[in-house]
């Protein structure tokens, strides 16, 4: 886990406390002001204009850098803008290797970079080191992965990827949205940058869109500071506060998500209409294949607690159909070739009582049988 002074439960819960010195508020204030008064030329208090720096955003960014054991964090208006910020370190003509099973929105963005900015992407299975090494070219600049992959829930060995990245002078970027810093810290395994869609587990309540980049290393941290301010993809003070408020309960939420996911996994493994269950061993996400694609629509229609909706990581249980929702951007032949088929459903198991979740699944299976 992390190298912070305290256990991570304490670090999460204490976010924002003892940060405000004038009135000593326990909950960190939301500084909406976009501008800050200077008493004379050259005498500011560290803040000028909110795109460049905001006291509420600073508290959130400092907490994220600390929890991910990075040097600096950058709060962005969405997970996608975090990915865009990270990729703004690269230029036209650069080649990036990414994992095959990647978030559909990331795939769409990479496709856009290929179409409009002459980037090159190749897609790696996530398992074979030699295949990864063979993809490295003279213009390769970075390896970008998600672990566990989504929706196929495969853990990628970050230490082995970071070894290959270092040996070839490549940046190693990890999207840590699904496990969160409560479960894993990619920087400890050699990542240079960590990405989060804070919309998901960090905020945790399906009510705010946000993203974060955490960086390790002086050079990229300075460059990201410059670009973050230049492009202005910053997160609003109110949204920073909402994410921090959510993060205070991340450890207890995550334990309940994980306990529930394990119960649901065991139930699904014994359900005859389920062909295969994919659970990466930790966290609250799992996927499974129904025995027949034609059962997907009636199954979704019969569920009462699991909400058929696109997203993950909130307190409410959601069920997603990757083929038409999160991964619709990926052509059908491409996604089928690596196992993302039309029978696949993905669960973001919430923090309700596991018995109620299982009962909901049970009544849906009984109805479609």
Is 48 a residue of the active site? no
- 254 close to 284: Cβ distance less than 8 angstroms: yes
Among 146, 192, 258, 360, binds ligand PLP (CB under 6 A): 146
Instruction: Kindly tell me the burial class for residue 369, based on how many C-beta atoms sit within 10 Å of its own C-beta (0-12, 13-18, 19 or more).
Output: exposed
Residue number with CB closer to ligand PLP (76 or 260): 76
The residue number whose beta carbon is nearest to ligand PLP equals 79
Residues 122-141 that bind ligand PLP (CB under 6 A): none
Is 103 a residue of the active site? yes
Least distance in angstroms from the C-beta of 33 to ligand PLP: 26
How many residues bind to ligand PLP according to rule CB under 6 A?
A: 17
Tell me how far CA of residue 53 lies from CA of 75, 113, 159, 226, 359, in angstroms.
11, 29, 34, 12, 49
Tell me how far CA of residue 240 lies from CA of 10, 39, 70, in angstroms.
19, 28, 19
- Residue 184 engages ligand PLP in binding (rule: CB under 6 A): no
Question: Considering 200, 248, 282, 346, which one is annotated as catalytic?
Answer: 200
H helices of the chain, in order, are: 8-13, 55-67, 79-87, 104-117, 129-135, 158-167, 180-183, 218-231, 237-247, 250-269, 296-302, 332-337, 354-368
Among 2, 199, 234, 320, binds ligand PLP (CB under 6 A): 199
Element (H, E) at 19: none
- Residue 99 engages ligand PLP in binding (rule: CB under 6 A): no
Among 150, 185, 234, 287, binds ligand PLP (CB under 6 A): 150
Tell me how far CA of residue 340 lies from CA of 13, 151, 224, 268, 362, in angstroms.
37, 8, 34, 18, 24
Is 36 a residue of the active site? no
Among 2, 50, 69, 78, binds ligand PLP (CB under 6 A): 78
- Residue 211 engages ligand PLP in binding (rule: CB under 6 A): yes
- Residue 84 engages ligand PLP in binding (rule: CB under 6 A): no
Mapping DSSP to helix (H, G, I), strand (E, B) and coil, where does residue 97 land? strand
- Residue 185 engages ligand PLP in binding (rule: CB under 6 A): no
Q: Which own/partner pairs from 55-58 qualify as long-range (CB within 8 Å, at least 24 positions apart)?
A: 55/29, 55/31, 56/28, 56/29, 56/30, 56/31, 56/237, 56/240, 56/241, 57/234, 57/235, 57/237, 57/240
Question: Considering 94, 175, 192, 360, which one is annotated as catalytic?
Answer: 175
Least distance in angstroms from the C-beta of 363 to ligand PLP: 29
- Residue 79 engages ligand PLP in binding (rule: CB under 6 A): yes
Is 37 a residue of the active site? no
- Residue 197 engages ligand PLP in binding (rule: CB under 6 A): yes
- Residue 327 engages ligand PLP in binding (rule: CB under 6 A): no
- Residue 56 engages ligand PLP in binding (rule: CB under 6 A): no
Give the residues lining the site for ligand PLP (CB under 6 A).
Answer: 78-80, 103, 105-106, 146, 150, 175, 177-178, 197, 199-200, 209, 211, 312
- Residues tagged active-site: 51, 103, 175, 200
């Amino acid at each position: 886990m992390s190298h912070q002074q305290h256990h991570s439960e304490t670090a999460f819960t204490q976010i924002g406390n003892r940060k405000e010195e004038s009135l000593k508020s326990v909950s960190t204030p939301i500084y909406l002001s976009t501008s800050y008064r200077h008493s004379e030329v050259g005498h500011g208090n560290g803040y000028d204009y909110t795109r460049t720096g905001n006291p509420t955003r600073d508290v959130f960014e400092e907490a994220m850098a600390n929890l991910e054991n990075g040097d600096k964090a950058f709060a962005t208006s969405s997970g996608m803008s975090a990915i865009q910020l990270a990729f703004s370190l690269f230029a036209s003509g650069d080649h990036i290797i990414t994992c095959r099973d990647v978030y559909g929105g990331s795939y769409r963005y990479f496709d856009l970079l290929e179409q409009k900015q002459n980037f090159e992407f190749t897609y790696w299975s996530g398992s074979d080191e030699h295949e990864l090494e063979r993809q490295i070219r003279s213009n390769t600049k970075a390896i970008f992965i998600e672990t566990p992959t989504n929706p196929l829930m495969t853990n990628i060995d970050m230490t082995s990827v970071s070894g290959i990245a270092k040996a070839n002078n490549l940046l190693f970027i990890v999207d840590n949205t699904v496990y969160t810093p409560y479960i894993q810290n990619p920087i400890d395994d050699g990542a240079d940058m960590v990405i989060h869609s804070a919309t998901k587990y960090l905020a945790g309540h399906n009510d705010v869109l946000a993203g974060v980049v955490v960086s390790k290393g002086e050079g990229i941290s300075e460059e990201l500071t410059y670009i973050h301010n230049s492009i202005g993809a910053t997160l609003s003070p109110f949204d920073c506060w909402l994410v921090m408020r959510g993060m205070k309960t991340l450890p207890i939420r995550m334990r309940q998500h994980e306990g529930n996911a394990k119960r649901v996994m065991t139930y699904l493994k014994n359900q005859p209409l389920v062909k295969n269950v994919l659970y990466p061993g930790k966290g609250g996400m799992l996927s499974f294949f129904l025995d027949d694609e034609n059962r997907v629509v009636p199954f979704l229609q019969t569920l009462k607690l699991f909400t058929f909706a696109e997203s993950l990581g909130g307190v409410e249980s959601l069920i997603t159909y990757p083929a038409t929702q999160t991964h619709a951007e990926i052509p059908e032949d491409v996604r089928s070739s690596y196992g993302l088929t039309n029978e696949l459903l993905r669960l973001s198991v919430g923090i309700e009582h596991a018995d109620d979740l299982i009962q909901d699944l049970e009544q849906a299976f009984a109805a479609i049988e």
